[in-house]
């Protein structure tokens, strides 16, 4: 079976998959989160072309880094329902392969964790489907958690203009995309845990070894010509899938602080998770610090926020650094927030509380000096002159 990676290794690939431009991406994601629509449930689909006993060693599951204990499935969307069937969740989780029918699953205290606790209270395992190889819209939806109780598959269906179709799994009470490459049916066991890790996560550093639940698989569905989606942890695709939905949320919240937000970038150097660069049209002094606070509120895992003027390209690190060099004063334009909750992935955070010191940098020009003092010099007709010379 072939494997493919870096499918959405740049944002342009993601925009093309969703058939939208960069300028409308945030609105499209936020609209889908506000107005999710139920996908159609179908009896059949390409993923049911082959139905087999679960054999994880039949899949090209990769071991990515030297200290990892073995192969990891990490592009997997895990779907589960509450015992009464009223609450659904689809989210991305890593699975450490144990044998052909078992894997350890890393679960953080969010939506899937709550569903697992509900199942445990009833003394039962939690039925799940694990999907590998889907339309990028499904990955985006699974990485952008809506409120608890809203299904990410419904969000994905809105992103796909109603084109997502689901199948009902037969050995477990779960749904899965009908056009996926591979679907594993199984249950998260209520009473069994194993040591999981070390694993290189989003930051490119090794996450801690923990006791995590075990999934026992009951069946495998796949296309005849299935392609396995391999996601390099800490690679560009991982950072983009995790970061773009946070960009949309930051963009939405910051717009309540300033009239116009011209760009948001969860930067590659910040691992698509810890650093945000936000460009705005500043109206009054103090706007920069309000934007910093809004960004931290929109994405609590943020560690550093950089606010720049609208003439700075948030995707160009050299321009951002230039803004810091020419428009920033350390005694005036820095905001320090100690002992705030950050990311559990941050290696310098408090291991018990995940608290960190958050810092915001206001790199916008001050209104106390003439605007001309901060303008970048332009060469007249530069582009036309270069093109004319090269044309000769």
Measured between alpha carbons, how far is 13 from 330 in angstroms, rounded to an integer? 38
Structural element, H or E, at residue 336: strand 334-341
Strand partners, 185: 129, 219
Q: How far apart are the C-alpha atoms of 58 and 36, rounded to whole Å?
A: 36
Closest CA to 323 of 357, 351, 363, 280: 363
Q: Which of 127, 154, 201, 309 is catalytic?
A: 201
Q: SS3 sequence, 367-384?
A: CCCCHHHHCCCCCCCHHH
Alpha carbon distance 209, 112 (integer Å): 20
Look at residue 227 and give its three-state secondary structure.
coil
Question: Rounded to whole angstroms, how far apart are CA atoms 218 and 102?
Answer: 10
Q: Are strands 102-105 and 95-99 parallel, antiparallel or unpaired?
A: antiparallel
Cis peptide before 198 (omega within 30 of 0): yes
50-88 per-residue burial string, b: 16 or more CB within 10 A, e: under 16? eeeebebeebebbebeeebbebbbbbbbbbbbbeeeebb
Buried b (16+ CB within 10 A) or exposed e, 260-291: ebbbbbbbeebbbbbbbbbbbebeeeebbbbb
CA gap 179, 382 in Å, rounded: 50
d(CA 267, CA 82): 36
Is 201 known to be catalytic? yes
Q: Which residues contact 172 (CB under 8 A, 6 or more apart)?
A: 127, 128, 129, 185, 186, 187, 218
Structure tokens at 109: 């205290």
- Catalytic residues, by residue number, are 201
């Amino acid at each position: 079976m072939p494997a493919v990676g870096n499918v959405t290794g740049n944002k342009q690939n993601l925009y093309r998959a969703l058939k939208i431009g960069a300028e409308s991406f945030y609105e499209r994601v936020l609209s889908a989160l506000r107005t999710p629509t139920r996908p159609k449930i179908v009896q059949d689909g390409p993923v049911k072309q082959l139905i087999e006993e679960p054999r994880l060693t039949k899949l090209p599951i990769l071991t990515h880094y030297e200290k990892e204990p073995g192969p990891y499935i990490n592009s997997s969307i895990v779907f589960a329902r509450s015992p009464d069937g009223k609450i659904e969740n689809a989210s991305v989780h890593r699975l450490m392969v144990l044998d052909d029918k078992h894997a350890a699953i890393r679960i953080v205290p969010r939506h899937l964790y709550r569903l697992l606790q509900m199942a445990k209270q009833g003394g039962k395992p939690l039925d799940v489907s694990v999907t590998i190889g889907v339309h990028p819209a499904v990955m985006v939806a699974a990485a952008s958690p809506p409120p608890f109780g809203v299904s990410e598959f419904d969000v994905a269906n809105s992103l796909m203009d109603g084109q997502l179709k689901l199948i009902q799994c037969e050995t477990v009470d779960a749904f899965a995309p009908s056009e996926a490459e591979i679907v594993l049916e199984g249950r998260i066991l209520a009473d069994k845990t194993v040591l999981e890790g070390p694993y290189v996560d989003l930051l490119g550093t090794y996450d801690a070894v923990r006791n995590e639940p075990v999934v026992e698989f009951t069946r495998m569905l796949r296309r005849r010509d299935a392609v396995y989606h391999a996601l390099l942890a800490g690679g560009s695709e991982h950072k983009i899938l995790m970061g773009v939905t946070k960009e949309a949320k930051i963009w939405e919240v910051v717009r309540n602080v300033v009239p116009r937000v011209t760009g948001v970038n969860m930067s590659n150097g910040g691992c698509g998770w810890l650093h945000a660069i936000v460009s705005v049209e500043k109206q009054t002094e103090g706007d920069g610090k309000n934007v910093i606070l809004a960004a931290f509120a929109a994405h609590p895992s943020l560690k550093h926020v950089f606010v720049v003027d609208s003439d700075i390209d948030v995707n160009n690190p050299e321009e951002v650094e230039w803004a810091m060099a020419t428009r920033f004063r350390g005694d005036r334009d820095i905001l320090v927030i100690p002992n705030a909750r950050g990311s559990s992935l941050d290696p310098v955070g408090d291991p018990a509380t995940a608290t960190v010191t958050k810092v915001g940098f206001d790199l916008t020009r001050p209104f106390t000096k003439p605007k001309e003092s901060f303008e970048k010099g332009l060469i007249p007709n530069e582009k036309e002159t270069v093109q004319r010379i090269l044309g000769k």
